Structure 1
Amino acid sequence: MKISSPTLSSRSADLLKRGLDRLNAEQYTLAEALFREIVAQDPQHAEAWHRLGVTLARQQRFAPGEAAIRQALALQDSGERQRDLGWTLIWQGRDNEAIAAYYSAINQGMREARLFNNLGNLLKKGNNLKYAEIAYRAAIDVDPAYALAHSNLAMLLQDAGQFDAAEASLKQALELDPKAAHLWQRYGGLLEQQNRLDEADAAYCRGERWESAQYVRRRVAYWQDLDRIDRLTLEMVASGAAEQLTPWGLLGIPALTPGLHREAGRRFAETRWRGELAAAPLVARGAGLAEALSALAMGGRLRIGYLSADFHAHATMHLLAGVLESHDAARFDIHLYSYGNATRDTAWQARFDALPATFHDIGGLTDAQAAAQIADHGIHLLVDLKGYTTQTRLGITALRPAPVIVSWLGYPGSLGAPRLADYLIGDTVVTPPDSAQHYSETLALMPHCYQPTDHRRQCGPRPTRAAAGLPERGLVFCSFNQTFKLNAQMASVWARLLSAVPGSVLWLLDPGSERARANLHAFFVSEGVARERVIFAPRLAQEAHLARLQLADLALDTLPTGSHTTGSDALWAGVPMVSASGALFAGRVGASLLDAVGLGELVARDLNGYFQIALGLASDPAWLAQIRERLGRAKSEAPLFDTVRFTRDLERLMVAIVRREVDGGEGAVVAQ
């Protein structure tokens, strides 16, 4: 009896079933082999091509996954295949194509909550907020129990300032999925934005988002149980247990290492900008730089772009304004790309109008549109001034709109993801060459301090001590750092100083929170320091703040994150600062400032040495007077205060970076 062999269609059906079983079991290698066997035997098998594409995409092989799904669509269009095509496009950063695919799926009858939710995310990212809200609400209509859609709708409402509606949506999401850590993280963020810090703390702890819990506690000087919370936070960083773990908020943790900080940056970037990091670069690295160097040598100009949200009366601009004014317009074509608050007071507006630079307001553009504009302008070197600080839009640099990208000034550390920036501007104190392994970027070293100073800043007339809320007599220690930089160890050193220097007071920046003020007073009282010896200074405009700073006798730096703009302000106002070198970039800025002003002897190796230097200065009026006299001379002599010199050094460094891109090289780049 003759036994007939299986038909091609029956064999394909068997292979397809087995492949789907392997795909559902996440055995992707086996599933891929089975689907490939089908299409090799039957190239017209649309479903096999579709499932092969899904299998490849789940292995993060998005481009071949897209190609396979497109082959399936060419054979037979369907809503399901359009949906899966959209997913592969998202991961390649091709948002507009993904939106089109999702709409095609919807037009063919697809009604899935996840599809509508993903579409909402894409529309929100593209600033199409009206239709993003419609998409999120459609997801909820399809599946009222879909917590993620409720959460995403809440974030949309929060960004629009509709806090009550946002909170209602988040509470609905938490009722549906009360164990979801990311929902508690979002709820805590909403509460924190409204300055409901106790509630935010509780929400973060409920969701075990320890990195946010420690940060909000530091904001109000609530230091209880921080050792445990810090340990749990660093375990989260090391294990990668939490997505969207913001690196900036980690800087107050004393045990944070440079390696862990870099790792936190890498993980944050890869979860926040997955699509952009996977997209094809708009401009190839190094493209056109050889021609730019040749043109520069013949009298042409390098096109430099600065990217920031802070081109207004912001702390960063108080440092940078003088540099922007001092750029050599004959050699450098400067472009400012602003995505933040474009309003400026009259004085700032006059300065910006006079800058040798072209201003571009890109606040209304998507990241993709902004990146395309920068690429179209032919920028040779793009400088991101934000890093992982608030309002960052590193999605722009992730799309690679320039042949070389530099990180500078705003964020004191590595971004962790090499595609976000090729170079990090530092100096030999904050980023010594032997620390290069802690940075995904190549180090670019300024000859003095990496941080500029605006030589046109005005201090204003010194007020009376009474007008500033200070006693008529007694030495004034000051630290005008943000409250999150303070900690029990640092405050204990300050308490020892106050106890050792009779009649002295500690002048702190008002944290803007009654709870924070109460916590700080309670801590110092527990250390034997009377409440009236800790004085809070209200926030003032820059000129008035610099004027009152002249009343201080000695500035006290902080660790593990130290004084940045705060330290520069103190030195500009003629107030010496005592510092100690920390383990992080963020903890060595004070040392760099002091080195660049010729007062390196005020930098201690540890907190015991810090205490001894501060006590010595406070107890020896002659030594303190001599230091203040040297600082006064430095204002007209030291490189820290010479803005034009700093700008020429920066320009030489930029040219050296471009030359290294053209010629290659090893190790750090230095200004030549």
Structure 2
Amino acid sequence: MVAAARAFYPRGMNSSVPTPSARSDALFKRGLDRLNADNIMHAEALLREAVAADPRHADAWHQLGVALARQQRHAEGEQAIRRALAVREGGAYRRDLAWTLLWQGRDEAAVEAYLSAVLQGVREARLFNNLGNLLKKRQDLADAEAAYRAAIETDPHYAFAFGNLAVLLAETGRDEEAEACLRRALELDPQAAHAWQCYGGLLERQNRLDEAEAAYARGGRWEAVQSVRRRLAHWEGLEPIDQAALAMIASGEAEQLTPWGLLGIPALTPELHREAGRRFAQSRWRGELAATPLVARGAGLAEALAAFEAGEAGEAGARLRIGYLSADFYDHATLRLLAGVLELHDAARFDIHLYAYGDIAPDAAWRERLARCPATLHEIGALSDAQAAARIAHDGVHLLVDLKGYTTGTRLGITALRPAPVIVSWLGYPGSLGAPRLADYLIGDVVVTPPVTAAHYSETLALMPHCYQPHDHRRECGPRPTRAEAGLPASGFVFCSFNQIFKLNARIASIWRRLLVATPGSVLWLLDPGEPRARSHLHGFFAEQGVAAARVIFAPRVPHDLHLARLQLADLALDTLPTGSHTTGSDALWAGVPMVSAPGMLLAGRVGASLLRAVGLEELIARDLDAYFQIALALANDPAWHAQVRERLVQARNDAPLFDTKRFTRDLERLYVAIMAREAQDAGDRAPFVVAG
């Protein structure tokens, strides 16, 4: 190397002047010392001097790449390490090249680099752990497991690999092995918050809720503690736990905090919810968010729209290609809402594609119904996020609709890679994703997402003219059972709320308790939480004001058609806050059951009001919870008014915008075209807009 460096200088130089290689070596050593001392900018400057003095100093190029990567300048770091590799091969060089590629979202190239490092003799627990994570992301679970086990073999005290192996084992149904791995991880690092979180999640899925709460608390994961408590209706002492969870968002203390699990906290603000989404996205999909987009935003939309509009003018125009991305194309709440829209899309104008990474309608009737929709179904569950995104990009989708957001089972790594020129968030997740790259638009309406709240969203608000929630025009209410068959008393006013238990809280339940006290003979009909302790807590709460357990009745979970049939026996549905009725609200209204609601701060707490507006019952939208109580009490005590409201609901099934699926679908298609037109203009306009109805 010294001889090669001397070739750059004229012969006869004064021997007292250090040769370039000697000088570069000294600069390299000083730079490496600064890098090891975390003085990264000084290290970068010294290492740049070193490679300028000797462009073939491979170790200096390598450490310069590391210094750049540690400043989040991963593309520059990659290039520097590739300069080192151009001089000579090295396992450590390949290992750190993989690191820079990983953070750019170039997973396949990172896997190749890690494997090359291993072949060159690098055996480090962290390398094998990172390799396992990448293999798991691409659904190569057997090799991912082998990589995690190699990490543990290399360093039996590497707790993080035990935790990651446990997550993989749990996801493949090997709970006993997963629990053993988590216990070992926590023996090695009792303060590992991530391991406690994983352990709590495993215990919660097994319905070992007390143990789960204790595990979450040990890890300081207060958002998970409050979520478990709400599943048990254990409301005593929740406020300080809620505040601790919200403080974690504000401080950035817990990046992995799941935004969906926060929706039961009454003090959650839209600003904090958006921030939680941003932090979660950055922690989960940092590499994908940094990767070069597969499709540039707005690319090709002007041409697609021109061809589409030619068709509208009577010529043979091209269809616009719309993609729906979800894990829920089965008998799930999302599909029950969306099925009618999928059936009624105008196949002459829109080419519909369903990208499913979950179960596909195991029920034969649903699968047959999906098959009859004018849509092409793509089952992508076996593909990695990168492969799925590449498939969507190859299909030339013009507008991609993500139906999951941060709900359970999401794979937003697909949208983070930007496989379409415009991406829309809709229906599944009631809030902002927080990371602008995950979705360009969020579909709402003027009630759930008023234009004045635009700053609460990283997405541009695209507003439907009536209600953002669709309805299935083929949904039917079966024959109404008797009250005895449904477990209800022979007489008395029936208040109901079939929302999930986490949406209940002491404040809203106190209002329901007052209603029961003020309405003798009435009962409250709730969805059975499936947990004896939750039933006991609820009965105890109502008993504090003398409401007997017999007046709080739990309805077992039944197939949806049977639920709609029995729902007709209820007299009044009671909305919840801060997260309200969504599908449960439209179910009640379709069954002819009035609902009283009050709009909350969050999108998730304003859906009930939107449904009532779209069905023509604005007078049942209370300004606050005091008015909510008064409206509910008046309906219970005024049979004539109650009968008149119910009759209006019967008529609404024929003419209200909420139940007109064909009208909704045409409005939605107009909204899609308007979104694409704005993107084609590339005006950068983020102002909310409403499509004409």
TM-score by length of 2: 0.96
* Structure-2 residue corresponding to 1:541: 559
- Letter of the 1:357 counterpart: A
Matched, 1:426 2:438: no
Relative to structure 1, the CA distance from residue 487 to residue 402 in structure 2 (aligned partners, 3 Å threshold; closer, same or farther) is: same
* Structure-1 residue corresponding to 2:471: 453
Aligned-partner SS, 2:423: strand
- Letter of the 2:602 counterpart: L
Show CA shifts across 1:574-624 (max 9, x none): 000000010000000000000000001111111111001101111111111
* Structure-1 residue corresponding to 2:639: 621
- Letter of the 1:668 counterpart: P
Give the Å deviation of 1:181. Answer: 1.1
The whole-number CA distance in structure 1 between the counterparts of 2:83 and 2:15 is 36
Show CA shifts across 1:165-196 (max 9, x none): 00000000000000111111010001011111
* Structure-1 residue corresponding to 2:430: 412
- Letter of the 1:129 counterpart: L
Which one of the candidate residues 386, 399, 402 is aligned to 1:368?
Answer: 386
- Paired-residue identity, %: 73
The whole-number CA distance in structure 1 between the counterparts of 2:299 and 2:151 is 44
* Structure-1 residue corresponding to 2:480: 462
- Paired residues for 1:215-230 under 5 Å: 215-230=227-242
- Letter of the 2:392 counterpart: I
- Paired residues for 1:182-581 under 5 Å: 182-299=194-311, 300-581=318-599
* Structure-2 residue corresponding to 1:128: 140
- Paired residues for 1:95-174 under 5 Å: 95-174=107-186
Which one of the candidate residues 651, 655, 659 is aligned to 2:673?
Answer: 655
- Letter of the 2:75 counterpart: A
Give the Å deviation of 1:3. Answer: 9.5
Aligned-partner SS, 1:303: strand
Q: Tell me, yes or no, if the aligned pair for 2:407 and 2:429 is still in contact at 8 Å.
A: yes
Give the Å deviation of 1:626. Answer: 1.0
- Letter of the 2:688 counterpart: A
Aligned-partner SS, 1:604: coil
The whole-number CA distance in structure 2 between the counterparts of 1:35 and 1:44 is 12
* Structure-1 residue corresponding to 2:655: 637
The whole-number CA distance in structure 1 between the counterparts of 2:74 and 2:546 is 63
Aligned-partner SS, 1:415: coil
* Structure-2 residue corresponding to 1:63: 75
The whole-number CA distance in structure 2 between the counterparts of 1:22 and 1:520 is 61
The whole-number CA distance in structure 2 between the counterparts of 1:528 and 1:378 is 63
Q: Tell me, yes or no, if the aligned pair for 1:371 and 1:400 is still in contact at 8 Å.
A: yes
Which one of the candidate residues 101, 106, 110 is aligned to 1:89?
Answer: 101
Aligned-partner SS, 2:597: strand
The whole-number CA distance in structure 1 between the counterparts of 2:542 and 2:100 is 57
The whole-number CA distance in structure 1 between the counterparts of 2:236 and 2:221 is 17
- Letter of the 2:604 counterpart: A
Show CA shifts across 1:498-523 (max 9, x none): 00000000000000111111111111
Which one of the candidate residues 603, 625, 628 is aligned to 1:607?
Answer: 625
Give the Å deviation of 1:345. Answer: 1.6
- Letter of the 2:445 counterpart: D
Give the Å deviation of 1:298. Answer: 1.6
* Structure-1 residue corresponding to 2:8: none
Show CA shifts across 1:233-254 (max 9, x none): 0000111101211000000000
The whole-number CA distance in structure 2 between the counterparts of 1:646 and 1:403 is 24
The whole-number CA distance in structure 2 between the counterparts of 1:131 and 1:653 is 44
Aligned-partner SS, 1:298: helix
- Letter of the 2:690 counterpart: V
Give the Å deviation of 1:5. Answer: 3.2
The whole-number CA distance in structure 2 between the counterparts of 1:214 and 1:149 is 28
Show CA shifts across 1:79-103 (max 9, x none): 1000000000000111111111111
Q: Tell me, yes or no, if the aligned pair for 2:404 and 2:428 is still in contact at 8 Å.
A: yes
How many residues get paired? 671
Which one of the candidate residues 73, 76, 79 is aligned to 2:88?
Answer: 76
Q: Tell me, yes or no, if the aligned pair for 1:656 and 1:670 is still in contact at 8 Å.
A: no
Show CA shifts across 1:15-67 (max 9, x none): 11211111112111111100001111111111110010000000000001000
TM-score by length of 1: 0.99
Structure 2, unaligned stretches of length 5 or more?
1-13, 312-317
Q: Tell me, yes or no, if the aligned pair for 1:28 and 1:55 is still in contact at 8 Å.
A: yes
Q: Tell me, yes or no, if the aligned pair for 2:427 and 2:469 is still in contact at 8 Å.
A: yes
Give the Å deviation of 1:666. Answer: 4.7
- Letter of the 2:182 counterpart: L
Relative to structure 1, the CA distance from residue 3 to residue 95 in structure 2 (aligned partners, 3 Å threshold; closer, same or farther) is: closer
The whole-number CA distance in structure 2 between the counterparts of 1:308 and 1:6 is 64
- 447-456 vs 12-21, greater mean Cα deviation: 12-21
Aligned-partner SS, 1:535: strand
The whole-number CA distance in structure 1 between the counterparts of 2:563 and 2:143 is 45
Structure 1, unaligned stretches of length 5 or more?
none
The whole-number CA distance in structure 2 between the counterparts of 1:250 and 1:284 is 33
Aligned-partner SS, 1:555: strand
* Structure-1 residue corresponding to 2:33: 21
- Letter of the 2:390 counterpart: A
Aligned-partner SS, 2:455: helix
- Letter of the 1:419 counterpart: R
The whole-number CA distance in structure 2 between the counterparts of 1:540 and 1:391 is 23
Q: Tell me, yes or no, if the aligned pair for 1:656 and 1:669 is still in contact at 8 Å.
A: no
* Structure-1 residue corresponding to 2:314: none
* Structure-1 residue corresponding to 2:64: 52
Give the Å deviation of 1:350. Answer: 2.2
The whole-number CA distance in structure 2 between the counterparts of 1:9 and 1:338 is 58
The whole-number CA distance in structure 2 between the counterparts of 1:106 and 1:21 is 27
Give the Å deviation of 1:402. Answer: 0.3
The whole-number CA distance in structure 2 between the counterparts of 1:208 and 1:224 is 19
- Letter of the 1:305 counterpart: G
Q: Tell me, yes or no, if the aligned pair for 2:331 and 2:361 is still in contact at 8 Å.
A: no
The whole-number CA distance in structure 1 between the counterparts of 2:610 and 2:323 is 26
- 131-140 vs 501-510, greater mean Cα deviation: 131-140
Q: Tell me, yes or no, if the aligned pair for 1:653 and 1:669 is still in contact at 8 Å.
A: no
Aligned-partner SS, 2:538: helix
* Structure-2 residue corresponding to 1:670: 690
Give the Å deviation of 1:130. Answer: 1.0
Show CA shifts across 1:624-657 (max 9, x none): 1111111111111110000000000000000000
* Structure-1 residue corresponding to 2:605: 587
- Letter of the 1:169 counterpart: C
The whole-number CA distance in structure 2 between the counterparts of 1:346 and 1:22 is 65
Q: Tell me, yes or no, if the aligned pair for 1:492 and 1:527 is still in contact at 8 Å.
A: no
Give the Å deviation of 1:527. Answer: 2.8
* Structure-2 residue corresponding to 1:12: 24
The whole-number CA distance in structure 2 between the counterparts of 1:652 and 1:310 is 25
Aligned-partner SS, 1:528: coil
Q: Tell me, yes or no, if the aligned pair for 2:23 and 2:53 is still in contact at 8 Å.
A: no
- Letter of the 1:604 counterpart: A
Q: Tell me, yes or no, if the aligned pair for 2:462 and 2:690 is still in contact at 8 Å.
A: yes
- Letter of the 2:271 counterpart: G
Aligned-partner SS, 1:241: coil
